[in-house]
Structure 1
Amino acid sequence: MGVAGTGKTTVGPLLAELLGVPYAEGDDFHPAANIAKMTAGTPLTDEDRRPWLDAIGEWAHTRDGLGGVVSSSALKRGYRDRLRSAAPGLVFVHLTGDRALIEDRMSHRQGHFMPTALLDSQFATLQPLQPDEAGVAVDVTGTPADIARRAAEALRPATDPAAAGPAPAGTEG
């Protein structure tokens, strides 16, 4: 999860590979109308997001107990709650970073429908993970492989009660 440009699409497959589970690209679950709105620079409403979240939740539900990684902005607590209602075992990885870094990365992307003009609306909408939500926050500085490795390390204590102890460096949550 995270705002546009944090690397969900790049880091997600790397994390899935490290964990030995399948990956699904969250953008592929958007209806065509959502993509058209975002391409035009119009932020999605909560109503626009419902079918998208439900489709992601259904995919996650089919993976329940098997594992998987799916990218999704999941910016609001309500969105994450909707996803967890479909797949209660979900654990979120919140990719976080400095706004300037994220904007720079977005400006160099090619072929993506999300314009940098929507970044401010993404940050305005973002509700970071709360202490009662299963998940970890991982900083997006460094290479995608570094970020994926930190995410995998951060997930160990979040998903394995036997691995109790402090969260690894570079994570919080």
Structure 2
Amino acid sequence: MSLRVLVMGVSGSGKSTIGARLAEELRLPFADADAFHPPENVAKMSAGIPLTDADRWPWLDALGAWLAAEERGGVIACSALKRAYRERLRGWVPGLRVVHLAGEPGLIAARQGAREGHFMPPSLMASQFATLESPDGEDGTLILDIAAEPGAVVTQAVALLRQP
């Protein structure tokens, strides 16, 4: 059975870093959802305009199609802040495992402020937290604290994902 994993959280939570390292550890392909955004979405976010659900549905479908097509499984880093977004992905990938990278707003703000060249401005952080619907209680979901070093978060995720 192949393992398909969504690494989710608000912008700046470490999805790309943790997702890539997790995929490497699990020997699975990795994709960053940011690469799937059409230019219109990137332009909106770059201008500080939050995306609408109508903006997100085709993007989520592209992500789900990629993950479903990977025969060996895969890891995708995607915000997936609302349960409806995660359910959309589960429609493509039944049994999807979810790793939610959770952290305090202050820590995430510091991380956002330290990165360069990302199209998501720190000014949208409040809208990210306002939109976030915790996946606590959803089947196949792990919630990990990002206060730990990335290596420790990956080690914990791998151990938990390898459990039946």
Gaps of 5+ in 1: 161-173
In 2: Cα distance, 1:36 partner to 1:20 partner: 33
Match of 1:117 among 120, 123, 136: 123
The share of aligned pairs that are identical, in percent, is 50
TM-score (norm 1): 0.87
Give the drift of 1:122: 0.4
Q: Secondary structure at the match of 1:3?
A: coil
What is the root-mean-square deviation of aligned Cα atoms in Å? 1.1
In 1: Cα distance, 2:88 partner to 2:51 partner: 16
TM-score (norm 2): 0.92
In 2: Cα distance, 1:94 partner to 1:76 partner: 12
In 2: Cα distance, 1:130 partner to 1:100 partner: 21
- Cα deviation, 1:33-76, whole Å, max 9, x if unaligned, reads 00000000000000110111000000111125x22100000000
Note the 1:1-173 alignment, pairs <5 A. Answer: 1-63=8-70, 66-157=72-163, 160=164
Greater relative contact order: 1 or 2 (C-alpha under 8 angstroms, separation 6 or more)? 2
| AA aligned opposite 2:18 | V
In 1: Cα distance, 2:41 partner to 2:138 partner: 30
User: What is the total number of aligned residue pairs between the two structures?
Assistant: 157
The structure richer in strand per residue is 2
In 2: Cα distance, 1:96 partner to 1:76 partner: 14
In 1: Cα distance, 2:24 partner to 2:70 partner: 15
Task: Verify the 8 A CA contact 1:21 1:67 in the aligned structure 2.
Answer: yes
